C-alpha cells in the first residue's frame, strides 16, 4: 500500500477564545478552499478521493473537520486532534439554532471521524472538544470522541507513539477501508 502524507501549514485568525465570539469567516473559507484544491490535485493525479484522510492538530484539526463537511467529494475519513468545529453556528443541531436546509448541503456525513482531546488543554479548552463532539454526534453516525486524561495541548507520554500507531491503524482498517 502506498501512502503519501502532506504536511501543510494553513491558518486563520483567532479573534477570541470565546466559543460565542466572532470568527474569521473569510480566513476559514480561504483555508478550506485551499484544502479542497489540494484534494482536487490529488484526484487529478489518480488518487480516488475516497482514499484521502484529512487530519490536523489544533487549527489544522479545525480545518480538517470544516473542510470535510464542506467538501463535495467523498473522503475516507477525518482525524482531528485538540480542536473545535469552526463556524459551528452554520451546522445543523448546534445549540443556537437548527439549520435543516444546511444538512443536505453537508458533505461526508457517512465517513468516520475521530476527534481526540486532552482534558487539561489550556489552549483549546476541553469543553470546546466536548461541545464539538456533542454537536457532531447529532448528524455524523460514524463519529468517535476520545479524551486523554491529563493531556495538555501537545503530545506526551500519555499518548505514546505505539498507541497512536494502533489508533491510526484501527481507524484506517476498520473505519475507512472495511
Distance CA 151, CA 154 (A): 7
Q: How would you classify residue 117: left for phi > 0, otherwise alpha for psi between -120 and 50, otherwise beta?
A: beta
Tell me how many degrees the CA angle 121-134-126 measures, rounded to the nearest 5.
10
Mean pLDDT of 117-133: 90
Q: Could you list the active site residues?
A: 58, 121, 153
Give the pLDDT score at 96. 40
Give the pLDDT score at 22. 76
Structure confidence by residue, pLDDT tens digits, 57-75: 888 899 999 999 999 999 9
Residue pair 142/111 in contact (Cβ under 8 Å)? The answer is yes
Q: Domains in the chain and their CATH numbers? A: 48-176 (3.40.50.1820)
Distance CA 54, CA 18 (A): 26
Length of the chain, please?
A: 178
With 0-12 / 13-18 / 19 or more C-beta atoms within 10 angstroms meaning exposed / middle / buried, residue 53 is: buried
Give the pLDDT score at 149. 84
Distance CA 129, CA 85 (A): 9
Give the pLDDT score at 106. 78
Amino acid at each position: 500500500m502506498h501512502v503519501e502524507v502532506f504536511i501543510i501549514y494553513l491558518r486563520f485568525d483567532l479573534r477570541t477564545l470565546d466559543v460565542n465570539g466572532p470568527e474569521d469567516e473569510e480566513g476559514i473559507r480561504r483555508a478550506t478552499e485551499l484544502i479542497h484544491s489540494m484534494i482536487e490535485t490529488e484526484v487529478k493525479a489518480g488518487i480516488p478521493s475516497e482514499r484521502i484522510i484529512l487530519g490536523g492538530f489544533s487549527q489544522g484539526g479545525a480545518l480538517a473537520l470544516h473542510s470535510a463537511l464542506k467538501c463535495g467529494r467523498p473522503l475516507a475519513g477525518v482525524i482531528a486532534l485538540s480542536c473545535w468545529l469552526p463556524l459551528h453556528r452554520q451546522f445543523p443541531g448546534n445549540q443556537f439554532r437548527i439549520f435543516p436546509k444546511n444538512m443536505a448541503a453537508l458533505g461526508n456525513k457517512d465517513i468516520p471521524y475521530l476527534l481526540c482531546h486532552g482534558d487539561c488543554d489550556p489552549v483549546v479548552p476541553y469543553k470546546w472538544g466536548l461541545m464539538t463532539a456533542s454537536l457532531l454526534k447529532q448528524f455524523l453516525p460514524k463519529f468517535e470522541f476520545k479524551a486523554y486524561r491529563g493531556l495538555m495541548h501537545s503530545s506526551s507520554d500519555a499518548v505514546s507513539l505505539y498507541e497512536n500507531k494502533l489508533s491510526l491503524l484501527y481507524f484506517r482498517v476498520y473505519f475507512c477501508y472495511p
